[in-house]
Chains A and B, each alone.
Chain A
Amino acid sequence: MAYANSRNERVYLQLESSFGTIPNSSGSATVANGDACRFISSQLDFDPELLQRPDKTGSLGQTAGIAGRGIGNWSLSMSLAGSGTAGTAPDCDAILQCAFGKAAAVSAGTSVTYALDDNGYSFSLWSFRTASTVAQRVAAGCVVRQARFDLGQNVAIWTVNGSFKGLVDSKNFSSLTNEEKCGLTAFPSEPGSPTTSGNMVKGYTGSFTADGNVLATIQNASIVINNDDALVYGHGYELPTDIERGLRRITASFSLKEDDSSAITNLITKSRAKTAIDISMVLGAVAGNIWTFNLSNVQLSNLRFNDSSRRWVLDFGDSQANASSITAKDEIALVIT
């Protein structure tokens, strides 16, 4: 009997061209070496609803129900790691495309830029574990609900989660319906030479600029992309058939040591007046692995004077970034250089 060590897992990410259909060629999965992505932890939870008959039985007992419609939840955390080469997208490209709703713009040898759009993108998330005889899984139709990027740690880490359409696994595959197989006719084995690129970013390198002022006393900062996406069912289906997109909310929160400089005074006054400012958070200093998050029209909120450290700290809570016009989608852009 073989056990499965927690570290013996690799994930692979594939952008889907059609929601919930695992990329395939005539039913054979096309997951390949280059789709591998290093990560810290993953969670794929799928538990179809239990439908219980509501009618009275004449006694106080409940008879067994039947399996109903399913929807899954996934999460991943990973080091922030660019490819290390300007103009080459990171291994986590598929997730970033889904988070931003748009394919990256690649400038050869220079940069990869993720900008917002209203498209509903999905990806397939494969989890292959050792031994190969334990359950191998793929979550089809993954959408990004929330992505969070943090500044200030030793190793920059980002966490991302969302919901997904269906979980296909090697143990149940033969008994799944065609709908539940999400386009596959067989469950594949793991690609032989998974390929990953780039190194981690030091979370304490880079810079934080608010309203044009570089703030060296920054302690920590977070940027969160919240997509109000819902997976919806078509009549007659056991699994979700589509993505409905809702209001997007981008927020920044940060803490910095208080001083009497004009830059800090500026933030305190603009927080009270709710004057929109631009924020730029840069993580990393090594070419090919510098992540610049540009947030527009941020209205600072929830300012708290915090005396829990030796020096006073200003905590700015979740402050929303806003589009500059009703047609613009410029609340946030991520440029990797």
Chain B
Amino acid sequence: MEFAFVGASCVIHGVSELNRFGQRVVLSVDSESEAASVRSMVLGGACLIPASKFDEIGFTEEELRLYHSPERRMQDRQGDAAKFAAFQGKYREALVALHEFREHLSAGVGFTVPAESEVE
């Protein structure tokens, strides 16, 4: 399953080093043990959401290039205020999606993401 990284930095030893917002990583959740492993990563702090959910939010390539790290966001926020504000809105949406994804995993439902209407 493909995930998108919405955090600042994360190391999955032996698998991946994530340090760019929006970075993709494929993690298998096919077997029970693989699913449990990924579930533990996400609940344990790895900021990953399903890539499909990330795509729904609609970040532009430019946004991902300009604001891919907290440091870049601090530097570039002084630039085009409207551009940054648009990114911030989507960024917040991604973090809320992460929160909901974690709640979903905590409830033991699995890796399917609830549709927008199902989320309270």
Q: Which residues of A contact B (CB under 8 A)?
A: 32-36, 83-91, 93, 106, 108-109, 191-199, 285-289
Contact = CB atoms under 8 A, between A and B. Distances in A.
Interface string B20-42: 00000000000000001101111
Given A33-B40, A84-B8, A91-B44, 7 more contacts: A87-B95, A88-B47, A196-B45, A197-B8, A197-B10, A286-B74, A287-B74
Contact of A108 (B10, B73, B95): B95
B71 A36 contact: no
Contacts, number: 114
A32 B47 contact: no
B7 interface: yes
Interface residues of B, number: 31
Contact of B8 (A34, A83, A106, A195): A83
Contact of A193 (B8, B15, B70, B96): B15
Contacts of B95: 85-87, 108-109
B98 interface: yes
B52 interface: no
B40 A83 contact: no
A34 B7 CA distance: 15
B47 A83 contact: yes
Nearest to B7: A85
A198 B99 contact: no
Nearest to B10: A197
Contacts of B42: 34
10 contacts: A34-B39, A34-B44, A34-B45, A35-B40, A84-B7, A85-B47, A91-B45, A106-B99, A195-B10, A195-B11
A192 B14 CA distance: 8
A193 B47 contact: no
Contact of A286 (B39, B43, B71): B71
Contacts of A198: 7-10, 45
CB-CB nearest 9 A-B residue pairs: A34-B44, A84-B8, A109-B95, A32-B40, A108-B99, A34-B40, A197-B45, A85-B7, A195-B41
